[in-house]
Amino acid sequence: MLIKNAEIYQAGLNDLRVEQGIITAIGRLSPRPDETVVDAFSGALLPGLHDHHIHFLSYAASWASLDCGPAAAPNSQVFAQLLQQQTPGIEWLRGIGYHESIAGDIDCHWLDQYCLNRPVRIQHRSGRLWMFNSMGLAILKGSLYRSTNPPTLPAEGLRSGRFYDADQALASLLGRQLPPVSHASKKLASYGITGFSDMTPSNDRDTLALFQQLQSQHLLLQNIRLARRSVLDVADTADLTADALGPVKIHLHENRLPALQDLIERIHLSHTAGAAVAIHCVTEIELLFSLAALEEAGSIAGDRIEHAAVTPEHALDRMRALNLTVVTQPGFIAEKGDTYLRDMAAADQDSLYRCNAFLKANIALAGSSDAPFGSADPWAAMKAAVTRRTTSGQTVGRDEALTPEQALALFLGSLENPGQPRRIMTGVSADLCLLKHPWSISRTRLQSEDIQLVICKGIPIHQRAQLFEKTS
């Protein structure tokens, strides 16, 4: 593939060739016979973005579980609209929290009016009743028919799609449902994301195997790296790709901290096995506790502080001395800033989700979404890092504002070394994000709508318009 007339980020206007997933040439290049050509029309070409802290399966599940409670759906019309808004697909639409005050005792016929092309199951808020549409019911019946040891399901339920207290039977027939990972992965691709670190604390060898299987089935399009529960969990997984193994995730909770010595030993055990640690710190106490443990255990390259939601000035030198990387979520300033301003003491507000202070202190800083607990759109996060503005327009920690280039850099680090931005050059994997406008314009907009084309390992994983041309 040849990308013509791209404004290569921090390198100027040029052409770029991709072969076998690698950038093989940058310069003024002529198309070869049969080569696919993309004209970038001077749009900025960036390294593919990386989300350095996400919970991918939960993010995918968030697309599948529709809030059907009375607050989200106060009446039957709104509920019907909710069902219709969901894209048809082969994956289940799973609704939760339904109450009959919304649309009465609904059954498969009622659901079919609004969602016929996708299997649906809606759970009553009591948790005791599931309501299926006809496509969902058909899948259930197919599974019942194929089962060698079928569970008993009432005939009335198989007619109406309503099943009371049948969770075990339903689970045995439907199995553990995989959330709509393909949809979630495509959504991330549409934001320019070509790689992410999944920081879910319960990740184990099964999770890694699942992610790698999803990649091989092309349901998961991004490069991945997984934090893990412990080094022992995946110690002897020679069959699994080692570079997908991230740090050991340590989840601290201020109100039930472990003994300091236990944390020191856990860090030491990880380091001895060659694994860095990523410690969850959302309060000042959690951060100071972690720093005390790391100072005792010693730090290694790759050790990270997740969130660093509250960082007092005096902690900065200690973090620098330990050579830690901070993985923050600037998007929370926009999304949750109003709540912080309301609930936090004014004196603490300046230490909230700091950005510039880390850069000034020479601490490696990387960005992430923490999706589904924050928006997965890194452009919204970049905008928040630049403006420091909340949804209602208030400002949080003005001194922590970044330039658009610094904000972009938060998402350009490699998965292994998130604080060190990658650059587009020959010989590296073709993980690229092409924008509609040159950077001088894009930097004032910072919006995912400007993304034209996203390439991961040389393969387009998202494109906005028909950009490709084939030379003859």
Q: Which positions lie near Zn ion, rule CB under 5 A?
A: 370
Is the CB of 111 or the CB of 278 nearer to Zn ion? Answer: 278
CB of 329 to Zn ion, least distance (A): 8
Is the CB of 187 or the CB of 422 nearer to Zn ion? Answer: 187
CB of 186 to Zn ion, least distance (A): 22
Q: Can you tell me the distance from the alpha carbon of 236 to that of 273, in angstroms, rounded to the nearest whole number? A: 11
CB of 53 to Zn ion, least distance (A): 6
CB of 203 to Zn ion, least distance (A): 12
CB of 384 to Zn ion, least distance (A): 17
CB of 268 to Zn ion, least distance (A): 24
Is the CB of 106 or the CB of 250 nearer to Zn ion? Answer: 250
Is the CB of 47 or the CB of 179 nearer to Zn ion? Answer: 179
CB of 307 to Zn ion, least distance (A): 8
Is the CB of 356 or the CB of 369 nearer to Zn ion? Answer: 369
SS (H, E, C) the chain: CEEEEEEECCCEEEEEEEECCEEEEEECCCCCCCCEEEECCCCEEEECEEEEEECHHHHHHHHHEEECCCCCCCCHHHHHHHHHHCCCCCCCEEEEEECHHHHCCCCHHHHHCCCCCCCEEEEECCCCEEEECHHHHHHHHHHHHHCCCCCCCCHHHHHHCEEECCHHHHHHHHCCCCCCHHHHHHHHHHCCEEEEEECCCCCCHHHHHHHHHHHHCCCCCCEEEEEECCCCCCCCCCCCCHHHEEEEEEECCHHHCCCHHHHHHHHHHHHHCCCCEEEEECCHHHHHHHHHHHHHHCCCCCCEEEECCECCCCHHHHHHHCCCEEEECCHHHHHHHHHHHHHCCHHHHCCECCCHHHHHCCCEEEECCCCCCCCCCHHHHHHHHHHCECCCCCECCHHHCCCHHHHHHCCCECCCCCCCECCCCCCCECCEEEECCCHHHHHHHCCHHHEEEEEECCEEEEECCCCEEECC
Is the CB of 91 or the CB of 370 nearer to Zn ion? Answer: 370
Burial of 408 (0-12, 13-18, 19+ CB in 10 A): buried
Is the CB of 370 or the CB of 400 nearer to Zn ion? Answer: 370
Q: Can you tell me the distance from the alpha carbon of 228 to that of 245, in angstroms, rounded to the nearest whole number? A: 7
CB 443 within 8 A of CB 36: no
CB of 31 to Zn ion, least distance (A): 45
CB of 242 to Zn ion, least distance (A): 23
Sign of CA dihedral 419, 423, 427, 429: positive
CB of 279 to Zn ion, least distance (A): 12
Is the CB of 15 or the CB of 370 nearer to Zn ion? Answer: 370
Is the CB of 83 or the CB of 279 nearer to Zn ion? Answer: 279
Is the CB of 251 or the CB of 320 nearer to Zn ion? Answer: 251
